[in-house]
């Protein structure tokens, strides 16, 4: 299939395009390079454009005979979305609408959408299932949930087909160590912890140790970026006209912040100093996925479910690229 990957030069996109190509798909990346890196996509075709630009999106789809879209382009910091909601609703939510209209104008009727565990807010039960209550607690999550609603409306009105993938905590890097996570600024736990052995910071902060969890720190479900990418390939092949399928993507196992730091110590052999500070506003105590539906309906299997492997692959990238793509 000819696939347009919006945000394809970002962390997830750069891994995804390799997996799509291995599965025989032909990718075009559409990215404004605000946070993405042209260096991360090798010789994959790049169209530089913004998600708010209907004409550029329409042209990119027409000129490349696009048959399906994987929509990753978005801002990703839940904390920032609380401070600057307009930034998130404009880019992530209105951007989603712009893309849907451009798809209609170009006759493209299939999309896989990058959604998030943030749509659940503070979950009522663990593990979280797709049918559980969605009550986002920040504009990042509510903006993504708005797009899910749009998908339902467009499927019903125009017979378009969608799969929304609700990511849990994406981590790791390509096993070859040549591409990986390079956010500026970095906010994610594993790359921040690894900055200590890299000599880029003295210690890592633990945002609260008084949660109602076994060691008092927050629990998250870490999913390898290669496994997450593989799910998109299955998803694009599972899109059905006139409907929206929703899948959680996680490992189904939770690890606390302290356990993640301990794993990073074991992988790097560095003592990694940690200090407990106040809770970060908006952090739910525990987010762990049930991905049973993705296994049953997409046939998805994780190749790298082990946290040690996820951290080892992240370390393989960061230690050889301490300044990312710079």
Let me know: does 224 contact 171? Beta carbons within 8 Å: yes
Query: How many CB atoms are closer than 10 A to CB 91?
Result: 20
**Residue 117 CB, nearest approach to ligand UFG (Å):** 4
**95-106 and 139-158 are packed helices; what angle lies between their axes, rounded to 10 degrees?**
20
**Is 167 one of the annotated active-site residues of the chain?**
no
Mask for 3-42, x = binds ligand UFG (CB under 6 A): ----------------------------------------
Candidate ranges 48-56, 100-108, 114-122, 151-159; the one touching ligand UFG (CB under 6 A): 114-122
Residue nearest to ligand UFG (CB): 218
Nearest to 104 by CA among 47, 46, 151: 151
What are the residues whose beta carbons fall under 8 Å from the beta carbon of 130, sequence distance 6 or more? 166, 246, 247, 248, 293
Give the Cα separation of 247 and 305 in Å (integer). 17
CB nearer ligand UFG, residue 104 or residue 122:
122
Give the active site residue among 140, 167, 211, 304.
140
Strands 219-220, 255-256: pairing kind: antiparallel
Instruction: Please provide residue 204's backbone torsions phi and psi, each rounded to the nearest 5 degrees.
Output: -110, 145
Contacts of ligand UFG in 196-255 (CB under 6 A): 204-207, 218, 220
CB nearer ligand UFG, residue 164 or residue 238:
164
Contacts of ligand UFG in 248-287 (CB under 6 A): 257, 280, 283, 287
Tokens linked to 172: 């790791």
C-alpha count within 13 angstroms, C-beta hemisphere, residue 174: 19
Among the listed residues 98, 116, 134, 251, the single contact to ligand UFG using CB under 6 A: 116
DSSP string, 282-293: T--SEE-B--HH
Contacts of ligand UFG in 68-87 (CB under 6 A): 76, 78
C-alpha count within 13 angstroms, C-beta hemisphere, residue 230: 16
Mask for 171-190, x = binds ligand UFG (CB under 6 A): ----------------xxx-
CB nearer ligand UFG, residue 109 or residue 114:
114
Mask for 129-168, x = binds ligand UFG (CB under 6 A): -----------x----------------------------
Active centre residues (catalytic): 140
Which residues of this chain interact with ligand UFG, rule CB under 6 A? 76, 78, 116-118, 140, 169, 187-189, 192, 204-207, 218, 220, 257, 280, 283, 287
């Amino acid at each position: 299939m000819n696939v347009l990957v919006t945000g394809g030069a970002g962390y997830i996109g750069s891994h995804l395009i390799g997996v799509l190509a291995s599965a025989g798909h032909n990718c075009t990346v559409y990215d404004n390079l605000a946070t993405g890196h042209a260096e991360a996509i090798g010789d994959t075709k790049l169209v530089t454009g913004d998600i708010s630009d209907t004409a550029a999106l329409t042209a990119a789809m027409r000129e490349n005979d696009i048959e399906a879209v994987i929509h990753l382009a978005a801002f990703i910091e839940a904390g920032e979305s609380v401070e600057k909601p307009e930034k998130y609703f404009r880019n992530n939510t209105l951007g989603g609408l712009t893309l849907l209209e451009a798809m209609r104008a170009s006759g493209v009727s299939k999309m896989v959408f990058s959604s998030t565990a943030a749509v659940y807010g503070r979950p009522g039960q663990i593990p979280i299932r797709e049918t559980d209550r969605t009550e986002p607690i920040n504009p990042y999550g509510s903006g993504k949930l708005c797009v899910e609603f749009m998908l339902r409306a467009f499927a019903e009105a125009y017979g378009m087909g969608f799969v929304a993938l609700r990511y849990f905590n994406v981590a790791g890097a390509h096993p070859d160590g040549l591409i990986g996570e390079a956010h500026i600024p970095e906010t994610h736990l594993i790359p921040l912890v690894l900055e200590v052995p890299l000599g880029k910071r003295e210690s890592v902060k633990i945002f609260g140790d008084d949660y109602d969890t076994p060691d008092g720190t927050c629990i998250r479900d870490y999913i390898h970026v290669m496994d997450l990418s593989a799910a998109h390939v299955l998803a694009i092949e599972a899109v059905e006209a006139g409907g929206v399928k929703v899948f959680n993507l996680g490992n189904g196992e939770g690890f606390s912040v302290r356990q993640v730091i301990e794993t990073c110590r074991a992988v790097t052999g560095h003592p990694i100093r940690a200090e407990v500070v106040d809770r970060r506003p908006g952090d739910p105590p525990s987010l762990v996925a049930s991905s049973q539906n993705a296994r049953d309906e997409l046939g998805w299997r994780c190749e790298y479910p082990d946290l040690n492997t996820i951290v080892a692959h992240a370390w393989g990238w960061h230690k050889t690229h301490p300044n990312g793509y710079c």
